[in-house]
């Protein structure tokens, strides 16, 4: 394994930045050119990333690029360098692919909005900054890219500023997001004062022998909490629901499915590389506990939502919890179990990006066609929007962990890793969260796509093909990720996991060849997915079963509809009274249960918990800032007490 100089990382970053500047010069003119520029920039970024797969993912090299040709002097970094290993490329591929899909979807989805010259400029700034964040090898440059990313996202959150909720969401984002950024900056400054360098590889090498001093512990707590804000970890999760609900769906998919991964990526870099925390039981427990609370609180909040996009936002919180739990298991001292956890976390990072982007685009399709995402005002859209319905169901099955879709594979790895690492309680909670996830999407399906269609929606039409095609691409990835996990593992997950544990090659970019090998002698191997899932996962069998059940459902439904039509049951007295206790005597097809009523029994039985959690989410930004500060205090005390 070697390092090599490549222009591809800087091309992937600078192209969107440059075109963002150029299209901003023309104000509201040449909108078609601006749409084309956004598509072209994201396409070039994706191609640049794809061209790096062979040398990095397959051959195991690290790509470097030094800004201004300021190469290290006497093995000391004096300039800003881009260093792309398999982990950075893995996240970069997710970013590049989803940004291209968002650019295509935006062409029709945003056509009814005004101020589009600002939209595409901010969109390209968001794309470029996310790419720069994961490709940089400099800790301070991560902060710089994070700030560009944050303020571009804030502008896009408040883009539809004729709506009061967009302004409120933007305000919450800027307050809480700035607090998180301040904590990250302070932690970065403390670390720099301790090690006198900002280069990630050099920091890792210097901290290898003396990781936990009072200064570095405080820096760790500050950066963990700051990036927890960016990654939506409870209790730093209060801004995403408003932001994701208010932003255009083409942006919500990026904020939820992709931008949250930058926070997770930073936590990986901090724990696995800078502080080399593998085998540290205290940090292992902290991360697993934090992730468990996040996934449980997120799904219970999602269960009671009555807005499609807000429900999806809370599910983002919950699914990030799964990822964080898995990465916490990855810190375990038992290498076999740790590697399974890491593979599950990385696989779920990819899966979450795919199915959550698909679900947000489904919500965007509903909003585009009907003008609302209120579950109580929708229903019966499957008759008018069959493509959207099928694509939504694929996304819903994926996020719920139903085979043969991708979510099942990554969730199974997480169940297996938590159980084998001794966290059986976490395994049970994770399973329970999956059940509640499925329940909430049953609610969405029933409230949006099935049941009675309202009078105002009877003339609704299916969305244009330029909106359908991006959704189909995401749905296809959800299926491939479920039926061919070993393929995904071989070319994406396995190299990224190997890079997380074997950081010697990354560090050797800064130092003479073999320097890091003296410190990191152990090479941790990553098994094939078929070996990990042996005896549990047979995708061809699950796929066959799925299609058999689907065909059976279609046949039964068709026969039922023909029977109804033939008998022409128009009078209530002639109806089968079997369902009267549920429908109150109304004809079954006209019984539409509102989104807030479907699980009223569950909410009533657990009203103490739901009332508490509802009252805690007051909507007051001052309270939410206090939550972040309290979280920081707890993390600082924990780290100083146990590290």
Return the domain boundaries, the chain.
3-536+603-642
| CB-based contact 63:181 (threshold 8 Å) | no
Distances (CA, A) of 599 to 172, 401, 551: 30, 20, 29
* Burial track 347-374 (b if 16+ CB lie within 10 A, e otherwise): bbbbbbbbbbbbbbbbbbbbbbbbeebb
Residue 590: per-residue pLDDT = 45
Q: What does the DSSP 8-state code read for residue 163?
A: S
- The series of mean pLDDT values per 10 residues for the chain, 643 residues long, is 85 94 82 90 96 92 88 78 93 95 92 83 94 94 94 90 84 92 95 91 86 92 95 89 87 90 94 90 95 93 88 93 94 84 94 94 92 85 89 93 89 91 91 89 87 80 91 94 89 91 80 57 64 54 56 57 46 40 43 54 73 81 92 95 89
pLDDT tens track for 22-54: 988 887 777 888 899 999 999 999 999 999 999
Three-state DSSP at 170 gives helix
pLDDT at 355: 94
CA nearest to 48, candidates 20, 85, 10, 75: 10
Q: How many angstroms from the chain centroid is the CA of residue 452?
A: 33
Task: Specify whether the CB–CB gap between 264 and 321 falls below 8 A.
Answer: no
For the record, the structure tokens of 102 come out as 């968002």
User: How many angstroms separate the first and last alpha carbons of the chain?
Assistant: 34
What is the helix (H) or strand (E) element at residue 3, kind and residue range? Answer: strand 3-5
Query: What does DSSP say about strands 3-5 and 62-66: parallel, antiparallel, or unpaired?
Result: parallel
What is the structure's pLDDT at 532? Answer: 60
* DSSP 8-state code for residue 4: E
Residue closest to 397 by CA, chosen among 349, 429, 358? 358
What is the three-state SS of 203-235? HHHHHCCCCCCHHHHHHHHHHHHHHHHHHCCCC
Phi, psi of 156, rounded to the nearest 5 degrees: -75, -30
Tens-place pLDDT, residues 113-163? 777 888 999 999 999 999 999 999 999 999 999 999 999 999 999 888 777
């Amino acid at each position: 394994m070697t390092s090599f100089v490549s222009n591809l990382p800087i091309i992937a970053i600078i192209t969107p930045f440059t075109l963002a500047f150029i299209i901003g010069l023309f104000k509201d003119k040449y909108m078609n050119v601006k749409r084309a520029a956004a598509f072209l920039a994201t396409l070039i970024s994706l191609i640049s990333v794809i061209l790096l797969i062979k040398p990095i993912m397959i051959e195991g090299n690290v790509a470097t690029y030094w800004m201004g040709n300021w190469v290290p002097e006497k093995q000391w970094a004096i300039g800003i360098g881009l260093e792309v290993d398999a982990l950075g490329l893995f996240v970069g591929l997710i970013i590049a692919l989803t940004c291209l899909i968002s650019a295509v979807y935006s062409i029709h989805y945003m056509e009814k909005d005004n101020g589009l010259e600002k939209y595409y400029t901010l969109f390209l700034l968001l794309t470029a900054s996310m790419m720069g964040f994961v490709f940089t090898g400099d800790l301070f440059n991560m902060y710089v890219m994070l700030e560009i990313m944050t303020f571009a996202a804030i502008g896009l959150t408040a883009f539809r500023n004729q709506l009061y909720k967009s302004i409120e969401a933007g305000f919450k984002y800027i307050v809480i997001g700035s607090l998180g950024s301040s904590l990250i900056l302070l932690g970065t400054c403390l670390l720099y004062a301790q090690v006198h360098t900002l280069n990630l590889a050099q920091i890792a090498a210097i901290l290898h022998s003396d990781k936990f001093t009072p200064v570095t512990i405080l820096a760790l707590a500050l950066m963990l909490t700051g990036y927890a804000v960016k990654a939506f970890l409870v209790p730093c999760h209060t801004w995403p629901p408003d932001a994701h609900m208010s932003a255009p769906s083409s942006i919500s998919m990026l904020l939820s499915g992709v931008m949250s991964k930058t926070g997770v990526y930073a936590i990986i870099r901090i724990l696995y590389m800078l502080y080399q925390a593998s085998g540290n039981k205290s940090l292992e427990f902290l991360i697993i506990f934090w992730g468990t609370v996040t996934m449980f609180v997120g799904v219970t909040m999602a269960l009671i939502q009555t807005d499609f996009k807000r429900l999806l936002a809370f599910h983002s919180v919950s699914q990030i919890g799964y990822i964080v739990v898995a990465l916490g298991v990855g810190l375990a001292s038992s290498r076999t179990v740790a590697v399974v956890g890491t593979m599950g976390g990385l696989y779920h990072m990819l899966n979450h990006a795919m199915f959550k982007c698909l679900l947000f685009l489904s919500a965007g399709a509903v909003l585009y066609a009907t003008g609302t995402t209120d579950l109580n005002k929708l229903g019966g859209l499957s008759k008018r929007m069959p493509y959207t319905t099928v694509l939504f169901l694929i996304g819903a099955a994926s996020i719920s962990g139903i085979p043969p879709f991708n979510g099942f594979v990554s969730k199974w790895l997480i169940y297996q890793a938590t159980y084998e690492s001794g966290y059986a309680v976490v395994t049970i909670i994770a399973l329970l969260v999956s059940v509640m996830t499925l329940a909430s999407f049953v609610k969405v399906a029933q409230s949006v796509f099935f049941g009675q269609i309202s009078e105002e929606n009877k003339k609704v039409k299916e969305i244009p093909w330029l909106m359908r095609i991006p959704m189909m691409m995401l749905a296809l990835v959800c299926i491939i990720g479920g039926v061919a996990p070993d393929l995904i593992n071989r070319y994406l997950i396995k190299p990224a996991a190997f890079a997380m544990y074997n950081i010697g090659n990354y560090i050797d970019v800064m130092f003479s060849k073999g320097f890091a090998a003296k410190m990191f002698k152990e090479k941790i191997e990553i098994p094939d997915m078929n070996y990990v899932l042996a005896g549990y996962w047979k995708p061809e069998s699950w796929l066959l079963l799925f299609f058999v059940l689907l065909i059976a459902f279609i046949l039964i439904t068709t026969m039922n509809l023909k029977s109804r039509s033939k008998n022409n049951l128009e009078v209530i007295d002639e109806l089968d009274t079997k369902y009267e206790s549920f429908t109150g005597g109304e004809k079954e097809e006209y019984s539409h249960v509102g989104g807030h009523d479907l699980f009223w029994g569950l909410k009533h039985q657990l009203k103490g918990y739901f009332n508490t959690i509802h009252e805690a989410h007051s909507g007051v930004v001052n309270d939410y800032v206090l939550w972040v500060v309290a979280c920081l205090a707890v993390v600082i005390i924990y780290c100083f007490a146990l590290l």
